[in-house]
Structure 1
Protein backbone atom coordinates (compact mmCIF):
# COMPACT_ATOMS: atom_id res chain seq x y z
CA UNK A 1 0.00 0.00 0.00
CA UNK A 2 1.44 3.36 -1.00
CA UNK A 3 2.14 5.85 1.74
CA UNK A 4 1.01 9.45 1.51
CA UNK A 5 3.95 11.77 0.86
CA UNK A 6 4.93 13.66 4.02
CA UNK A 7 3.90 17.30 4.10
CA UNK A 8 6.81 19.76 3.94
CA UNK A 9 6.45 21.81 7.15
CA UNK A 10 8.96 24.31 5.79
CA UNK A 11 6.14 25.63 3.60
CA UNK A 12 4.45 26.98 6.72
CA UNK A 13 7.63 28.82 7.72
CA UNK A 14 7.83 30.48 4.32
CA UNK A 15 4.12 31.25 4.34
CA UNK A 16 4.27 33.04 7.72
CA UNK A 17 7.28 35.09 6.56
CA UNK A 18 5.43 36.22 3.42
CA UNK A 19 2.33 37.02 5.47
CA UNK A 20 4.25 39.14 7.99
CA UNK A 21 6.34 41.01 5.43
CA UNK A 22 3.63 41.32 2.70
CA UNK A 23 6.36 40.62 0.17
CA UNK A 24 8.03 37.64 -1.48
CA UNK A 25 11.34 39.53 -1.72
CA UNK A 26 11.36 40.58 1.95
CA UNK A 27 10.45 37.06 3.03
CA UNK A 28 13.31 35.73 0.91
CA UNK A 29 15.68 38.19 2.57
CA UNK A 30 14.52 37.19 6.05
CA UNK A 31 14.84 33.46 5.32
CA UNK A 32 18.04 33.74 3.26
CA UNK A 33 16.34 32.19 0.22
CA UNK A 34 15.92 33.27 -3.38
CA UNK A 35 12.70 35.00 -4.35
CA UNK A 36 11.89 32.20 -6.79
CA UNK A 37 12.23 29.63 -3.97
CA UNK A 38 9.73 31.57 -1.89
CA UNK A 39 7.35 31.91 -4.85
CA UNK A 40 7.58 28.18 -5.58
CA UNK A 41 6.94 27.30 -1.95
CA UNK A 42 3.79 29.44 -1.84
CA UNK A 43 2.60 27.84 -5.09
CA UNK A 44 3.10 24.37 -3.58
CA UNK A 45 1.20 25.34 -0.43
CA UNK A 46 -1.57 26.84 -2.56
CA UNK A 47 -1.87 23.56 -4.51
CA UNK A 48 -1.93 21.51 -1.30
CA UNK A 49 -4.64 23.66 0.28
CA UNK A 50 -6.62 24.24 -2.90
CA UNK A 51 -7.01 27.91 -1.98
CA UNK A 52 -5.55 31.17 -3.26
CA UNK A 53 -3.32 32.60 -0.52
CA UNK A 54 -1.97 35.94 -1.75
CA UNK A 55 -3.00 38.59 -4.27
CA UNK A 56 -0.38 40.86 -5.79
CA UNK A 57 -0.88 44.53 -4.86
CA UNK A 58 1.67 47.00 -6.22
CA UNK A 59 5.12 45.73 -5.26
CA UNK A 60 3.83 43.51 -2.48
CA UNK A 61 1.14 40.95 -1.78
CA UNK A 62 -2.08 40.96 0.21
CA UNK A 63 -3.39 37.86 2.03
CA UNK A 64 -6.73 36.35 1.10
CA UNK A 65 -9.33 35.35 3.70
CA UNK A 66 -7.97 31.78 3.54
CA UNK A 67 -4.44 33.03 4.23
CA UNK A 68 -5.65 35.11 7.19
CA UNK A 69 -7.36 32.09 8.67
CA UNK A 70 -4.28 29.90 8.17
CA UNK A 71 -1.98 32.51 9.70
CA UNK A 72 -4.16 32.81 12.80
CA UNK A 73 -3.70 29.09 13.37
CA UNK A 74 0.05 29.08 12.61
CA UNK A 75 1.35 32.32 14.14
CA UNK A 76 1.79 31.12 17.74
CA UNK A 77 3.13 27.60 17.07
CA UNK A 78 5.53 28.80 14.36
CA UNK A 79 6.83 31.55 16.64
CA UNK A 80 7.42 29.00 19.38
CA UNK A 81 9.32 26.73 16.97
CA UNK A 82 11.51 29.67 15.89
CA UNK A 83 12.18 30.52 19.54
CA UNK A 84 13.36 26.98 20.17
CA UNK A 85 15.59 27.07 17.08
CA UNK A 86 17.26 30.38 17.99
CA UNK A 87 17.76 29.28 21.61
CA UNK A 88 20.39 26.77 20.40
CA UNK A 89 22.60 29.49 18.90
CA UNK A 90 25.91 29.66 20.74
CA UNK A 91 26.89 32.94 22.37
CA UNK A 92 29.70 33.70 24.80
CA UNK A 93 29.90 37.36 25.81
CA UNK A 94 33.50 36.96 27.03
CA UNK A 95 34.80 35.91 23.59
CA UNK A 96 32.26 37.28 21.11
CA UNK A 97 33.26 40.07 18.70
CA UNK A 98 29.70 40.72 17.59
CA UNK A 99 28.29 44.16 16.81
CA UNK A 100 24.71 44.74 17.96
CA UNK A 101 22.48 47.37 16.38
CA UNK A 102 19.83 49.19 18.40
CA UNK A 103 17.25 51.70 17.22
CA UNK A 104 16.74 54.41 19.84
CA UNK A 105 15.34 57.92 19.99
CA UNK A 106 17.71 60.86 20.35
CA UNK A 107 16.97 61.23 24.06
CA UNK A 108 17.34 57.47 24.73
CA UNK A 109 20.74 57.47 22.98
CA UNK A 110 21.86 60.35 25.18
CA UNK A 111 20.82 58.47 28.31
CA UNK A 112 22.37 55.13 27.41
CA UNK A 113 25.38 55.41 25.12
CA UNK A 114 28.04 56.53 27.61
CA UNK A 115 26.99 53.99 30.25
CA UNK A 116 26.84 51.18 27.67
CA UNK A 117 30.36 51.99 26.47
CA UNK A 118 31.64 51.68 30.05
CA UNK A 119 29.93 48.32 30.48
CA UNK A 120 31.61 47.08 27.28
CA UNK A 121 35.10 48.22 28.35
CA UNK A 122 36.52 44.71 28.87
CA UNK A 123 34.63 43.05 26.01
CA UNK A 124 35.32 42.81 22.28
CA UNK A 125 31.71 43.51 21.34
CA UNK A 126 30.15 46.82 20.35
CA UNK A 127 26.63 48.25 20.40
CA UNK A 128 25.75 50.77 17.70
CA UNK A 129 22.79 53.05 18.37
CA UNK A 130 20.81 54.39 15.42
CA UNK A 131 17.84 56.73 15.24
CA UNK A 132 14.78 54.81 13.98
CA UNK A 133 13.34 55.28 10.49
CA UNK A 134 10.62 57.87 9.97
CA UNK A 135 8.04 55.26 8.98
CA UNK A 136 6.97 52.92 11.78
CA UNK A 137 6.40 50.02 9.37
CA UNK A 138 10.07 50.20 8.35
CA UNK A 139 11.12 49.95 12.01
CA UNK A 140 8.96 46.85 12.44
CA UNK A 141 10.30 45.32 9.23
CA UNK A 142 13.93 45.93 10.26
CA UNK A 143 13.25 44.17 13.57
CA UNK A 144 11.61 41.23 11.80
CA UNK A 145 14.45 40.95 9.28
CA UNK A 146 16.93 41.32 12.15
CA UNK A 147 18.65 44.28 10.52
CA UNK A 148 18.60 45.63 14.07
CA UNK A 149 18.60 43.56 17.24
CA UNK A 150 16.06 45.62 19.18
CA UNK A 151 14.62 49.10 19.61
CA UNK A 152 14.28 51.44 22.59
CA UNK A 153 11.44 53.80 21.81
CA UNK A 154 8.16 55.33 22.98
CA UNK A 155 6.47 53.25 20.27
CA UNK A 156 4.71 50.16 21.63
CA UNK A 157 3.93 47.43 19.04
CA UNK A 158 0.49 45.85 18.80
CA UNK A 159 1.54 42.85 16.71
CA UNK A 160 2.21 39.48 18.34
CA UNK A 161 5.37 39.32 16.19
CA UNK A 162 7.10 41.48 18.82
CA UNK A 163 7.86 41.34 22.51
CA UNK A 164 8.28 44.46 24.60
CA UNK A 165 9.19 45.64 28.08
CA UNK A 166 8.79 49.08 29.68
CA UNK A 167 12.29 50.11 30.74
CA UNK A 168 12.31 53.86 31.45
CA UNK A 169 10.03 56.74 32.28
CA UNK A 170 10.66 60.46 31.95
CA UNK A 171 8.57 63.61 31.87
CA UNK A 172 8.27 66.78 29.82
CA UNK A 173 9.56 70.12 31.06
CA UNK A 174 9.71 73.62 29.64
CA UNK A 175 13.02 75.43 29.00
CA UNK A 176 13.85 79.08 28.43
CA UNK A 177 17.11 81.01 28.39
CA UNK A 178 18.31 82.32 31.76
CA UNK A 179 18.35 85.88 30.44
CA UNK A 180 14.72 85.71 29.32
CA UNK A 181 13.24 89.21 29.83
CA UNK A 182 9.81 88.07 31.08
CA UNK A 183 10.24 84.63 32.69
CA UNK A 184 12.26 83.99 35.86
CA UNK A 185 12.17 80.95 38.14
CA UNK A 186 8.73 79.63 37.21
CA UNK A 187 6.14 79.93 34.47
CA UNK A 188 2.37 80.35 34.53
CA UNK A 189 -0.18 78.99 32.06
CA UNK A 190 -0.75 82.53 30.75
CA UNK A 191 2.96 83.26 30.35
CA UNK A 192 3.52 79.99 28.54
CA UNK A 193 0.93 80.67 25.86
CA UNK A 194 1.88 84.33 25.49
CA UNK A 195 5.41 83.44 24.35
CA UNK A 196 6.65 82.12 21.03
CA UNK A 197 7.56 78.44 20.87
CA UNK A 198 10.14 76.21 19.26
CA UNK A 199 8.08 73.18 18.24
CA UNK A 200 9.74 69.78 18.36
CA UNK A 201 8.27 67.50 15.71
CA UNK A 202 8.30 63.78 16.34
CA UNK A 203 10.23 61.87 13.71
CA UNK A 204 7.17 59.70 13.20
CA UNK A 205 3.49 60.63 12.94
CA UNK A 206 4.36 64.31 12.28
CA UNK A 207 3.13 65.31 15.75
CA UNK A 208 4.62 67.73 18.23
CA UNK A 209 5.75 66.06 21.44
CA UNK A 210 3.40 68.27 23.47
CA UNK A 211 0.35 67.31 21.40
CA UNK A 212 1.28 63.63 21.68
CA UNK A 213 1.61 63.55 25.46
CA UNK A 214 -0.74 66.19 26.82
CA UNK A 215 -4.02 65.15 28.42
CA UNK A 216 -5.98 68.03 26.91
CA UNK A 217 -6.32 69.97 23.68
CA UNK A 218 -3.79 72.80 23.90
CA UNK A 219 -4.56 76.36 22.79
CA UNK A 220 -2.83 77.51 19.64
CA UNK A 221 0.77 78.52 20.27
CA UNK A 222 2.76 81.24 18.53
CA UNK A 223 5.42 79.43 16.54
CA UNK A 224 8.98 80.68 16.54
CA UNK A 225 10.40 77.74 14.56
CA UNK A 226 10.17 73.98 14.11
CA UNK A 227 12.92 71.45 14.87
CA UNK A 228 13.35 67.68 14.58
CA UNK A 229 16.43 67.54 16.86
CA UNK A 230 16.16 68.12 20.61
CA UNK A 231 19.76 69.34 20.80
CA UNK A 232 19.31 71.96 18.08
CA UNK A 233 16.00 73.01 19.67
CA UNK A 234 17.68 73.67 23.01
CA UNK A 235 20.58 75.50 21.37
CA UNK A 236 18.07 77.75 19.61
CA UNK A 237 16.17 78.37 22.85
CA UNK A 238 19.42 79.58 24.45
CA UNK A 239 19.78 82.28 21.79
CA UNK A 240 16.18 83.52 21.61
CA UNK A 241 13.21 84.36 23.81
CA UNK A 242 11.28 81.37 22.50
CA UNK A 243 10.25 78.52 24.80
CA UNK A 244 10.83 74.82 24.14
CA UNK A 245 9.67 71.49 25.56
CA UNK A 246 12.08 68.61 26.22
CA UNK A 247 12.39 65.52 28.39
CA UNK A 248 13.57 66.33 31.91
CA UNK A 249 16.63 64.09 31.63
CA UNK A 250 17.71 65.81 28.42
CA UNK A 251 17.04 69.29 29.83
CA UNK A 252 18.97 68.53 33.02
CA UNK A 253 21.91 67.27 30.95
CA UNK A 254 22.23 70.38 28.79
CA UNK A 255 20.66 73.22 30.83
CA UNK A 256 23.97 74.45 32.21
CA UNK A 257 25.79 74.12 28.89
CA UNK A 258 23.20 76.21 27.06
CA UNK A 259 22.34 78.57 29.91
CA UNK A 260 18.72 77.45 30.25
CA UNK A 261 16.08 77.62 32.96
CA UNK A 262 14.03 74.43 33.43
CA UNK A 263 10.38 74.65 34.55
CA UNK A 264 7.54 72.29 35.30
CA UNK A 265 4.90 72.45 32.57
CA UNK A 266 1.92 74.67 33.41
CA UNK A 267 -0.48 71.98 32.18
CA UNK A 268 -0.93 68.22 32.69
CA UNK A 269 1.06 65.86 30.49
CA UNK A 270 1.48 62.10 30.29
CA UNK A 271 4.88 60.65 31.24
CA UNK A 272 7.29 59.64 28.48
CA UNK A 273 7.48 55.85 28.59
CA UNK A 274 10.33 54.05 26.84
CA UNK A 275 9.91 50.43 25.79
CA UNK A 276 12.46 47.87 24.73
CA UNK A 277 11.09 46.05 21.66
CA UNK A 278 12.44 42.94 19.93
CA UNK A 279 11.29 40.23 17.53
CA UNK A 280 9.23 37.48 19.19
CA UNK A 281 11.41 34.86 17.51
CA UNK A 282 14.43 36.15 19.49
CA UNK A 283 12.72 35.79 22.87
CA UNK A 284 14.93 32.81 23.83
CA UNK A 285 17.96 33.75 21.72
CA UNK A 286 21.05 33.84 24.03
CA UNK A 287 22.65 36.85 22.32
CA UNK A 288 19.45 38.88 22.40
CA UNK A 289 18.81 37.93 26.03
CA UNK A 290 22.32 39.14 26.91
CA UNK A 291 21.78 42.41 25.01
CA UNK A 292 18.50 43.09 26.79
CA UNK A 293 20.15 42.38 30.12
CA UNK A 294 23.05 44.72 29.43
CA UNK A 295 20.73 47.56 28.39
CA UNK A 296 18.65 47.04 31.52
CA UNK A 297 21.86 47.26 33.57
CA UNK A 298 22.78 50.48 31.77
CA UNK A 299 19.34 51.94 32.48
CA UNK A 300 19.57 51.02 36.17
CA UNK A 301 23.05 52.53 36.48
CA UNK A 302 21.93 55.70 34.67
CA UNK A 303 18.99 56.03 37.04
CA UNK A 304 21.37 55.79 40.00
CA UNK A 305 23.58 58.57 38.63
CA UNK A 306 26.37 56.33 37.28
Structure 2
Protein backbone atom coordinates (compact mmCIF):
# COMPACT_ATOMS: atom_id res chain seq x y z
CA UNK A 1 0.00 0.00 0.00
CA UNK A 2 1.49 3.32 -1.09
CA UNK A 3 0.82 5.92 1.60
CA UNK A 4 1.05 8.76 -0.91
CA UNK A 5 -2.09 7.39 -2.56
CA UNK A 6 -3.99 6.96 0.72
CA UNK A 7 -6.16 9.56 2.44
CA UNK A 8 -4.91 9.55 6.03
CA UNK A 9 -8.28 10.88 7.21
CA UNK A 10 -9.62 7.39 6.56
CA UNK A 11 -7.61 6.18 9.55
CA UNK A 12 -9.12 8.88 11.75
CA UNK A 13 -12.55 7.54 10.79
CA UNK A 14 -11.39 3.96 11.31
CA UNK A 15 -10.18 4.72 14.85
CA UNK A 16 -13.42 6.54 15.71
CA UNK A 17 -15.60 3.65 14.52
CA UNK A 18 -13.41 1.16 16.41
CA UNK A 19 -13.57 3.19 19.64
CA UNK A 20 -17.25 4.11 19.43
CA UNK A 21 -18.53 0.78 18.13
CA UNK A 22 -20.60 2.20 15.28
CA UNK A 23 -20.97 4.73 12.48
CA UNK A 24 -23.51 6.94 14.28
CA UNK A 25 -21.41 7.55 17.39
CA UNK A 26 -18.28 7.96 15.28
CA UNK A 27 -20.04 10.64 13.24
CA UNK A 28 -21.05 12.45 16.44
CA UNK A 29 -17.49 12.25 17.79
CA UNK A 30 -15.94 13.60 14.59
CA UNK A 31 -18.77 16.10 13.94
CA UNK A 32 -19.40 14.59 10.50
CA UNK A 33 -22.50 13.15 8.85
CA UNK A 34 -23.23 9.43 8.88
CA UNK A 35 -23.02 9.19 5.06
CA UNK A 36 -19.57 10.79 5.18
CA UNK A 37 -18.39 8.23 7.75
CA UNK A 38 -19.92 5.34 5.80
CA UNK A 39 -18.31 6.53 2.58
CA UNK A 40 -14.90 6.82 4.26
CA UNK A 41 -15.25 3.33 5.72
CA UNK A 42 -16.13 1.99 2.29
CA UNK A 43 -13.03 3.57 0.78
CA UNK A 44 -10.79 2.13 3.49
CA UNK A 45 -12.37 -1.32 3.11
CA UNK A 46 -11.59 -1.22 -0.59
CA UNK A 47 -8.07 0.00 0.07
CA UNK A 48 -7.17 -2.82 2.52
CA UNK A 49 -9.34 -5.54 0.96
CA UNK A 50 -11.15 -6.38 4.20
CA UNK A 51 -14.58 -5.46 5.64
CA UNK A 52 -12.86 -4.27 8.86
CA UNK A 53 -16.15 -4.35 10.78
CA UNK A 54 -19.10 -6.76 10.74
CA UNK A 55 -22.46 -6.04 12.30
CA UNK A 56 -23.38 -7.83 15.52
CA UNK A 57 -26.74 -6.57 16.75
CA UNK A 58 -26.50 -2.80 17.10
CA UNK A 59 -22.70 -2.80 17.23
CA UNK A 60 -19.98 -3.09 14.60
CA UNK A 61 -17.46 -5.74 15.63
CA UNK A 62 -13.86 -5.43 14.33
CA UNK A 63 -12.44 -8.17 12.14
CA UNK A 64 -9.05 -9.75 12.94
CA UNK A 65 -7.38 -7.37 10.47
CA UNK A 66 -9.01 -4.36 12.15
CA UNK A 67 -7.77 -5.61 15.53
CA UNK A 68 -4.28 -5.88 14.06
CA UNK A 69 -4.47 -2.37 12.60
CA UNK A 70 -5.86 -0.46 15.57
CA UNK A 71 -2.69 -0.35 17.70
CA UNK A 72 -0.36 1.03 15.00
CA UNK A 73 -3.13 3.37 13.81
CA UNK A 74 -3.56 4.89 17.26
CA UNK A 75 0.18 5.24 17.72
CA UNK A 76 0.47 7.05 14.38
CA UNK A 77 -2.46 9.36 15.11
CA UNK A 78 -1.05 10.11 18.55
CA UNK A 79 2.29 11.01 16.97
CA UNK A 80 0.58 13.37 14.52
CA UNK A 81 -1.40 14.92 17.39
CA UNK A 82 1.75 15.39 19.47
CA UNK A 83 3.62 16.96 16.57
CA UNK A 84 0.82 19.41 15.83
CA UNK A 85 0.45 20.13 19.55
CA UNK A 86 4.08 21.12 19.76
CA UNK A 87 3.54 23.53 16.88
CA UNK A 88 0.30 24.99 18.19
CA UNK A 89 1.12 24.99 21.91
CA UNK A 90 -1.46 24.25 24.59
CA UNK A 91 -3.68 26.82 26.27
CA UNK A 92 -5.68 25.22 29.10
CA UNK A 93 -8.07 28.18 29.26
CA UNK A 94 -9.33 27.54 25.72
CA UNK A 95 -8.41 23.89 25.07
CA UNK A 96 -11.28 21.50 24.39
CA UNK A 97 -9.80 18.10 25.14
CA UNK A 98 -10.59 14.92 27.00
CA UNK A 99 -8.04 13.15 29.18
CA UNK A 100 -8.32 9.56 30.39
CA UNK A 101 -6.31 8.59 33.46
CA UNK A 102 -5.92 4.95 34.37
CA UNK A 103 -6.33 4.19 38.06
CA UNK A 104 -7.65 1.49 40.32
CA UNK A 105 -10.39 2.08 42.87
CA UNK A 106 -8.05 2.94 45.77
CA UNK A 107 -6.30 5.59 43.72
CA UNK A 108 -9.56 6.93 42.30
CA UNK A 109 -11.05 7.32 45.76
CA UNK A 110 -8.13 9.51 46.85
CA UNK A 111 -6.90 11.31 43.76
CA UNK A 112 -9.77 11.78 41.34
CA UNK A 113 -12.03 14.35 43.02
CA UNK A 114 -9.21 16.80 43.90
CA UNK A 115 -7.94 16.48 40.32
CA UNK A 116 -11.38 17.14 38.82
CA UNK A 117 -11.80 20.27 40.94
CA UNK A 118 -8.35 21.56 39.95
CA UNK A 119 -8.91 20.92 36.24
CA UNK A 120 -12.31 22.58 36.41
CA UNK A 121 -10.73 25.79 37.69
CA UNK A 122 -7.69 25.73 35.40
CA UNK A 123 -9.23 24.43 32.16
CA UNK A 124 -13.01 24.92 32.00
CA UNK A 125 -13.44 23.15 28.63
CA UNK A 126 -11.28 20.14 29.46
CA UNK A 127 -12.95 16.90 30.55
CA UNK A 128 -11.38 13.97 32.37
CA UNK A 129 -12.31 10.37 33.10
CA UNK A 130 -11.03 7.75 35.49
CA UNK A 131 -10.47 4.67 33.34
CA UNK A 132 -10.36 1.06 34.55
CA UNK A 133 -6.79 -0.18 34.39
CA UNK A 134 -5.46 -3.66 33.71
CA UNK A 135 -1.84 -3.71 34.86
CA UNK A 136 -1.05 -6.34 32.23
CA UNK A 137 -2.05 -3.89 29.48
CA UNK A 138 -0.82 -0.58 30.84
CA UNK A 139 2.14 -0.41 28.43
CA UNK A 140 -0.09 -0.87 25.41
CA UNK A 141 -2.86 1.39 26.70
CA UNK A 142 -0.44 4.26 27.30
CA UNK A 143 1.32 3.69 23.98
CA UNK A 144 -1.92 3.64 22.00
CA UNK A 145 -3.38 6.64 23.79
CA UNK A 146 -6.22 4.65 25.36
CA UNK A 147 -5.16 6.41 28.56
CA UNK A 148 -3.05 9.57 28.73
CA UNK A 149 -1.50 8.79 32.10
CA UNK A 150 -1.89 6.38 34.99
CA UNK A 151 -1.58 6.48 38.78
CA UNK A 152 -0.59 3.31 40.64
CA UNK A 153 1.92 1.75 43.00
CA UNK A 154 5.40 0.92 41.71
CA UNK A 155 5.12 -1.34 38.65
CA UNK A 156 7.93 -3.05 36.69
CA UNK A 157 7.17 -1.71 33.20
CA UNK A 158 9.04 -1.38 29.91
CA UNK A 159 11.67 1.34 29.39
CA UNK A 160 9.17 3.17 27.16
CA UNK A 161 7.02 3.96 30.19
CA UNK A 162 8.08 6.99 32.23
CA UNK A 163 7.28 7.29 35.92
CA UNK A 164 7.46 9.97 38.62
CA UNK A 165 7.00 9.49 42.34
CA UNK A 166 3.91 11.26 43.69
CA UNK A 167 3.52 10.45 47.37
CA UNK A 168 4.70 8.12 50.12
CA UNK A 169 2.48 7.27 53.08
CA UNK A 170 2.64 4.94 56.10
CA UNK A 171 0.13 2.19 56.74
CA UNK A 172 -2.57 2.56 59.39
CA UNK A 173 -5.27 0.46 61.00
CA UNK A 174 -8.94 1.44 60.60
CA UNK A 175 -11.45 0.30 63.24
CA UNK A 176 -14.89 1.39 64.39
CA UNK A 177 -15.23 3.78 67.29
CA UNK A 178 -16.03 1.88 70.44
CA UNK A 179 -14.07 -1.15 69.27
CA UNK A 180 -13.31 -3.38 72.30
CA UNK A 181 -9.62 -3.79 71.41
CA UNK A 182 -8.84 -0.57 69.56
CA UNK A 183 -8.92 2.78 71.35
CA UNK A 184 -6.48 5.26 69.81
CA UNK A 185 -3.98 2.44 69.38
CA UNK A 186 -3.84 -1.32 69.03
CA UNK A 187 -1.24 -3.76 70.35
CA UNK A 188 0.36 -6.34 68.10
CA UNK A 189 -1.18 -9.12 70.18
CA UNK A 190 -4.67 -7.70 69.75
CA UNK A 191 -4.05 -6.91 66.07
CA UNK A 192 -3.17 -10.54 65.37
CA UNK A 193 -6.23 -11.77 67.27
CA UNK A 194 -8.68 -9.66 65.23
CA UNK A 195 -10.55 -10.49 62.04
CA UNK A 196 -9.24 -8.53 59.05
CA UNK A 197 -10.83 -7.26 55.85
CA UNK A 198 -8.67 -6.19 52.91
CA UNK A 199 -9.26 -4.28 49.68
CA UNK A 200 -7.87 -6.18 46.70
CA UNK A 201 -8.79 -7.40 43.23
CA UNK A 202 -7.18 -10.77 43.97
CA UNK A 203 -9.20 -13.65 45.39
CA UNK A 204 -6.24 -14.99 47.36
CA UNK A 205 -2.63 -14.29 48.26
CA UNK A 206 -0.78 -12.17 50.80
CA UNK A 207 -0.64 -8.41 50.94
CA UNK A 208 2.48 -6.38 51.79
CA UNK A 209 1.42 -6.28 55.45
CA UNK A 210 1.28 -10.09 55.56
CA UNK A 211 4.77 -10.32 54.08
CA UNK A 212 6.05 -7.93 56.77
CA UNK A 213 4.36 -9.91 59.54
CA UNK A 214 5.68 -13.21 58.24
CA UNK A 215 9.28 -12.03 58.68
CA UNK A 216 8.72 -12.25 62.45
CA UNK A 217 6.72 -15.47 62.20
CA UNK A 218 3.37 -13.70 62.68
CA UNK A 219 0.18 -13.96 60.64
CA UNK A 220 -3.21 -12.26 60.68
CA UNK A 221 -6.58 -13.79 59.88
CA UNK A 222 -8.17 -12.37 56.73
CA UNK A 223 -11.88 -13.14 56.80
CA UNK A 224 -13.06 -10.96 53.90
CA UNK A 225 -11.72 -9.54 50.63
CA UNK A 226 -13.52 -6.73 48.82
CA UNK A 227 -12.80 -4.71 45.69
CA UNK A 228 -14.14 -1.33 46.82
CA UNK A 229 -12.73 0.72 49.67
CA UNK A 230 -16.16 2.08 50.67
CA UNK A 231 -17.38 -1.50 51.13
CA UNK A 232 -14.51 -2.17 53.50
CA UNK A 233 -15.14 1.06 55.41
CA UNK A 234 -18.81 0.17 55.87
CA UNK A 235 -17.90 -3.33 57.03
CA UNK A 236 -15.44 -1.94 59.57
CA UNK A 237 -17.99 0.60 60.86
CA UNK A 238 -20.56 -2.16 61.37
CA UNK A 239 -18.37 -4.86 62.94
CA UNK A 240 -15.21 -5.60 64.91
CA UNK A 241 -13.22 -6.30 61.75
CA UNK A 242 -10.25 -4.01 61.08
CA UNK A 243 -8.71 -2.74 57.87
CA UNK A 244 -5.02 -2.02 57.24
CA UNK A 245 -4.23 0.42 54.44
CA UNK A 246 -2.25 3.49 53.39
CA UNK A 247 -2.89 6.52 55.60
CA UNK A 248 -3.61 8.86 52.68
CA UNK A 249 -6.26 6.53 51.30
CA UNK A 250 -7.71 5.88 54.75
CA UNK A 251 -8.36 9.55 55.53
CA UNK A 252 -10.00 10.21 52.15
CA UNK A 253 -12.18 7.11 52.40
CA UNK A 254 -13.17 7.84 56.01
CA UNK A 255 -14.80 11.19 55.16
CA UNK A 256 -18.29 9.63 55.20
CA UNK A 257 -17.58 7.39 58.17
CA UNK A 258 -16.39 7.96 61.71
CA UNK A 259 -13.91 5.14 62.06
CA UNK A 260 -10.73 5.34 64.10
CA UNK A 261 -7.44 5.58 62.22
CA UNK A 262 -4.53 4.40 64.37
CA UNK A 263 -0.87 3.43 63.76
CA UNK A 264 -0.01 -0.13 62.79
CA UNK A 265 1.66 -2.02 65.67
CA UNK A 266 4.56 -3.37 63.56
CA UNK A 267 7.04 -2.27 60.88
CA UNK A 268 4.66 -2.12 57.92
CA UNK A 269 5.90 -1.04 54.48
CA UNK A 270 5.12 2.46 53.28
CA UNK A 271 2.82 2.78 50.28
CA UNK A 272 4.07 4.82 47.32
CA UNK A 273 2.04 6.18 44.42
CA UNK A 274 3.55 6.93 41.01
CA UNK A 275 2.46 8.82 37.91
CA UNK A 276 3.02 6.92 34.64
CA UNK A 277 3.01 8.06 31.00
CA UNK A 278 4.45 6.86 27.70
CA UNK A 279 7.68 8.23 26.28
CA UNK A 280 5.83 9.24 23.11
CA UNK A 281 3.97 11.82 25.22
CA UNK A 282 7.05 13.27 26.89
CA UNK A 283 7.09 16.43 24.77
CA UNK A 284 3.34 16.72 24.19
CA UNK A 285 2.31 20.09 25.74
CA UNK A 286 -1.14 18.82 26.69
CA UNK A 287 0.22 15.72 28.38
CA UNK A 288 2.92 17.71 30.16
CA UNK A 289 0.25 20.08 31.45
CA UNK A 290 -1.88 17.16 32.63
CA UNK A 291 1.07 15.64 34.47
CA UNK A 292 1.79 18.96 36.15
CA UNK A 293 -1.84 19.21 37.22
CA UNK A 294 -1.68 15.76 38.81
CA UNK A 295 1.51 16.66 40.70
CA UNK A 296 0.04 20.00 41.79
CA UNK A 297 -3.11 18.27 42.98
CA UNK A 298 -1.15 15.80 45.09
CA UNK A 299 1.10 18.52 46.55
CA UNK A 300 -1.72 20.92 47.46
CA UNK A 301 -4.44 18.56 48.67
CA UNK A 302 -5.17 18.24 52.39
CA UNK A 303 -5.26 14.44 52.58
CA UNK A 304 -6.99 14.45 55.97
CA UNK A 305 -10.02 16.34 54.67
CA UNK A 306 -12.82 15.69 52.15
Q: TM-score, normalised by structure 2?
A: 0.67
Q: Is 2:271 the partner of 1:272?
A: yes
Cα distance, 1:196 vs structure 2:
1.2
Q: Provide the aligned length of Structure 1 versus Structure 2.
A: 235
Unmatched 5+ residue regions in structure 2?
A: 1-63
Q: Is 2:280 the partner of 1:281?
A: yes
Cα distance, 1:202 vs structure 2:
4.6
Within a 5 Å distance, the mapping from 1:195-214 to structure 2 comes to 195-202=194-201, 207-211=206-210
SS of structure 2 residue aligned to 1:32 = helix
Cα distance, 1:105 vs structure 2:
2.9
SS of structure 2 residue aligned to 1:120 = helix
Question: Aligned partners of 1:112 and 1:199: how far apart in 2?
Answer: 20
Instruction: Give the equivalent residue in structure 2 for 1:161.
Output: 160
Instruction: Give the equivalent residue in structure 1 for 2:73.
Output: 32
Change (3 A) 1:108 1:30: same
Question: Aligned partners of 1:207 and 1:83: how far apart in 2?
Answer: 43
Instruction: Indicate the larger mover: 212-221 or 294-303.
Output: 212-221
Matched-pair contact (CA < 8 Å) for 1:200–1:209? no
Within a 5 Å distance, the mapping from 1:224-303 to structure 2 comes to 224-255=223-254, 257-303=256-302
Instruction: Give the equivalent residue in structure 2 for 1:147.
Output: 146
Instruction: Indicate the larger mover: 296-305 or 92-101.
Output: 296-305
Question: Aligned partners of 1:254 and 1:92: how far apart in 2?
Answer: 34
Cα distance, 1:85 vs structure 2:
4.3
Instruction: Give the equivalent residue in structure 2 for 1:88.
Output: 86
Within a 5 Å distance, the mapping from 1:166-205 to structure 2 comes to 166-202=165-201
Change (3 A) 1:124 1:84: closer
Instruction: Give the equivalent residue in structure 2 for 1:129.
Output: 130
Question: Aligned partners of 1:222 and 1:99: how far apart in 2?
Answer: 44
SS of structure 1 residue aligned to 2:261 = strand
Change (3 A) 1:246 1:131: farther
SS of structure 1 residue aligned to 2:192 = helix
Cα distance, 1:128 vs structure 2:
0.9
Matched-pair contact (CA < 8 Å) for 2:85–2:286? no
Question: Aligned partners of 2:106 and 2:246: how far apart in 1?
Answer: 8
Cα distance, 1:127 vs structure 2:
1.4
> For residues 29-87 of structure 1, what are the alpha-carbon distances to aligned partners after superposition, in whole Å with 9 as ceiling and x for unaligned?
12228xxxxxxxxxxxxxxxxxxxxxxxxxxxxxxxxxxxxxxxxxxxxxxx9998476
Question: Aligned partners of 1:215 and 1:82: how far apart in 2?
Answer: 51
Change (3 A) 1:129 1:224: same
Matched-pair contact (CA < 8 Å) for 2:171–2:271? yes
